[in-house]
Amino acid sequence: MKLRGSILALMRLPNRRQVRGKVHQISVTGGLINVETPLDENLQVELIFHLGETTIREKAEMLFPMWATQGWLQPFRFVDVPEANKNILEANLLAFVQQTQAGTPPAEPTQLAKAAEAS
């Protein structure tokens, strides 16, 4: 899902330093974050951001960054995400998509999670 920087993210590095960025794209497997200074490839971070009313806090591995006109686009992939957390992330992504579509009321994330478990 393309977000174009509408969601702020915090990356907590192994040395406890924190780096801020904006989520450019997101999926249940990873995404793309806009950062001022790129992080090292293969660096594992704790990625924290809000999606709707849910706080997502997962481990992510940084991939090779790409220069953009305003900063860097740093791809990442989620690592070691429990299946239950994947379902929560997917449900909240679906709810966010529905919320941003004109005239469509936001779906309840807990209901979407239950529906995902049932299928």
Check which CATH number belongs to the domain holding 95 and give it.
2.40.10.220
Sign of the Cα torsion 55, 16, 12, 10 reads positive
* Angstrom distance (rounded) from CA 56 to CA 101: 22
- The residue-averaged pLDDT of 58-66 equals 97
* pTM: predicted TM-score of the whole model, two decimal places: 0.78
- The residue-averaged pLDDT of 44-70 equals 93
Find out whether 52 and 99 touch, Cβ atoms under 8 Å: yes
Q: pLDDT value at position 4?
A: 66
- The residue-averaged pLDDT of 76-100 equals 89
pLDDT at 118 over 60: no
Q: Residue 83: what are its φ and ψ, rounded to 5°?
A: -55, -40
Domain that holds residue 43: 2-118
Categorize the per-residue pLDDT at 59 as very low, low, confident or very high, splitting at 50, 70 and 90: very high
What is the number of domains present in the chain? 1
